[in-house]
Structure 1
């Protein structure tokens, strides 16, 4: 089970660019929610950490390259630093699992309320604790999905929460379906589809209107090679390039 949890965490990265398979979290997180819905807080903590290891490990491995090539750190030390960082950040997923299972033992309440809420809280905390690392917030994976319509209202963490709500409700629908409780199953399945339907309806909503005189701005990218961009002796030439 540990290997599968780690693997599903790693696969979740496919939801983000350049792949942008925004439906992937529905599959991968259903595995995690399947565990969390009946777990004790300690097991939820452990499984959350394993999921986080796979998720962050495959999602931010590039840090090793940045630390080594552009930070001037030895490759081995950069690798160790990256592994330690991933291990610490994965603890936020542990917190979400522990909190959601500590608050209630009821699987329905866990899937429909506490897990989505704990996940949203976890992502928000991850964005500012110890200066923050908001990379790979689930909401960013939905930039091409109907859920993106909620961004002007709730922001990226609100989208993460809505996505987790949808997955939790979908999980409840499947559970009730296999328990032969068809009416309950249909209710939860409809609720799971509701955020996507509302997002689709809101896709063409105009949240802002032009006001006053328009202002034209430009963004300049001088295309200075990364290999020399941060060298001290390159500072003045870089500033001259921007001025020109």
Structure 2
């Protein structure tokens, strides 16, 4: 085989291995498969010519990321009415751009490694960590499909309250080196190292301790799932039926808290039928039930926000307000130079105003409920910022989402894994009220305790137990963001280079 054909074969296999990593994260988490995919990448890297090794790393990243968020095609083609070829190209270009970080990490690994096992283990783990952090934060970040989510049900999940999802991903990358070297050399050191690490992982939950938080009294919740087709959500002929179902379900709840999904009411309060908004405020001000409802707020002068309105707060009929802080590029803000692309899509998209990073919680009885909207729960460090003041820290998290943009795709399962990881990192229960799924209640250990089938209209009744206290992750990430992990990654590279 010629050198060119050999390189093309390696790139094709790397693309496939990246797809396997995407599959390891949904519809269910398969941590062992994620580690094997990293080991496969390293095997392909070792067989590639050093000047072209970045192509192998980039192809793995393209397969991984393209296989993770391919469902963006649905929103652009089905609902945005872009030509199919342009929608495919847009997803591929986004995946390729984000894969550059892993391509650089792979090239640096080959350049810096000295084939000394433990130095290479540290080096690869550090470079993987830095690549994932770069994808998570540069240009507002899009860390969907981070490697650590594959381990939400495995032994590495015990690390979540210490180092978060990116720390877990780095440890998994280090395990990939041990597996690859053990299979490639069949040497005593790699095999012994793999045995020691595997044994450590079995005992990890006991070593890391139990709960960092304490149980509270809890509350009952009602979660609504309207299952409104995305192409009908903003269709004025269907709005009366959609509003009628949501309003009736809200008013019928007798739980402590009832939650409706993101933009369950898709109109500004001033655009609603007369007395509807005031009627909601009056109803929840008089009874014991409180409500959180996804609705756009604002005006042309102050700007519009993707928000959650809370009714029944102590102090009278005025409503609580949470405005989304971390906005979706193209969907909620338009990056400079891309207006032409957004104008091609026939969607109600534009620029929203940002809410504050640290917003007050919504008080329901003895619990403090902290809303987040859509993919905001992808950014655990931003949620952790609400835990700096323990007196006002959330005791329950509430996510309102609308994944209807992406059809009946794996995005629903992926978003559920993301929410479960946040409950592990922060040791807080989370309730999720969504338009099409996954509408669930999750306890502070990441276990789904109540679930509504996706893509059906329904109401889920659940009980959740709030928590007090803070995990190590909540403490350092709330104060310092992800900077400690950047320091760990850079120090790991320097340490590995020095030992080599």
For residues 218 and 153 of structure 2, the distance between their equivalents in structure 1, rounded to whole angstroms, comes to 28
Q: Deviations over 1:164-189 (max 9, x none)?
A: 122223334445534xxx3x244312
Q: Which residue of 2 aligns with 1:228?
A: 232
Any idea what SS the aligned residue of 1:73 has?
A: coil
Question: What is the correspondence of 1:31-70 to structure 2 with a 5 Å cutoff?
Answer: 31-36=40-45, 42-70=51-79
Is 1:155 the counterpart of 2:164 in the alignment? yes
| CA apart distance, 1:202 | 5.6
Among 75, 90, 105, the alignment partner of 1:81 is 90
Larger Rg: 2
SS in 2 for 1:220: strand
Q: Secondary structure of 1:136's match?
A: coil
- Seen in structure 2, the aligned counterparts of structure 1 residues 42 and 234 have a Cα distance that, compared at 3 Å, is farther
**8 Å Cα contact 1:126-1:133 kept in structure 2:** yes
Structure holding more strand per residue:
2
**Which whole-Å deviations, capped at 9, do the CAs of 1:24-67 have from their partners, x for residues lacking one?**
12222112122445867643311100111222222222111111
Residue of structure 2 in register with 1:13 after alignment: 22
Q: Answer yes or no: is 1:201 the counterpart of 2:210.
A: no
Q: 2: CA distance between counterparts of 1:208 and 1:43?
A: 49
Residue matched to 1:219: 223
Q: 1:232 to 1:130 in 2, by over 3 A?
A: farther
In the other structure, the counterpart of 2:395 is none
Deviation at 1:220, TM superposition (A): 2.5
Deviates more, 1:225-234 or 1:73-82: 225-234
Give the whole-Å Cα distance in 2 for the aligned partners of 1:174 and 1:79: 37
1:128-207 equivalence runs, <5 A: 128-178=137-187, 182=188, 184-201=189-206, 205-207=210-212
Greater share of helix = 1
Say if 2:58 and 2:99, in contact at 8 Å, map to a contact too: yes
User: How far, CA to CA, are the matches of 2:238 and 2:119 in structure 1?
Assistant: 55
Deviation for aligned residue 1:218:
4.0
* Equivalences, count: 239
CA deviation after TM superposition for structure 1 residue 110, in Å: 5.5
| Residue segments in structure 1 that go unaligned for 5+ positions in a row | none
8 A contact 1:45–1:94 mirrored in 2: yes
- Cα pair distance change 1:38/1:3, threshold 3 Å: closer
How far 1:5 moved relative to its partner? 1.5
1:3 aligns with 2:7: no
Q: Quick check: 2:117–2:190 contact (8 Å CA) kept in 1?
A: no
Change (3 A) 1:166 1:223: same
Cα contact 1:169–1:189 (8 A) shared by 2: yes
Which range moved further: 12-21 or 114-123? 12-21
Distance 1:200 1:97 in 2: 31
Does structure 2 conserve the Cα–Cα contact (< 8 Å) formed by 1:146 and 1:199?
yes
- Summarize the Cα distance change of 1:157–1:232 in structure 2 as closer, same or farther, 3 Å threshold: farther
Cα deviation for residue 154 of structure 1 reads: 1.1
Distance 2:104 2:241 in 1: 47
98, 110, 124: which one aligns with 1:101: 110
Give TM-score scaled by structure 2 length: 0.43
Shifted more, 96-105 versus 132-141: the winner is 96-105
Distance 2:185 2:145 in 1: 32
Structure 2 distance, partners of 1:230, 1:203, is 48
Cα distance, 1:163–1:195 mapped onto 2, change above 3 Å: farther
2:21–2:33 CA contact under 8 A, matched in 1: yes
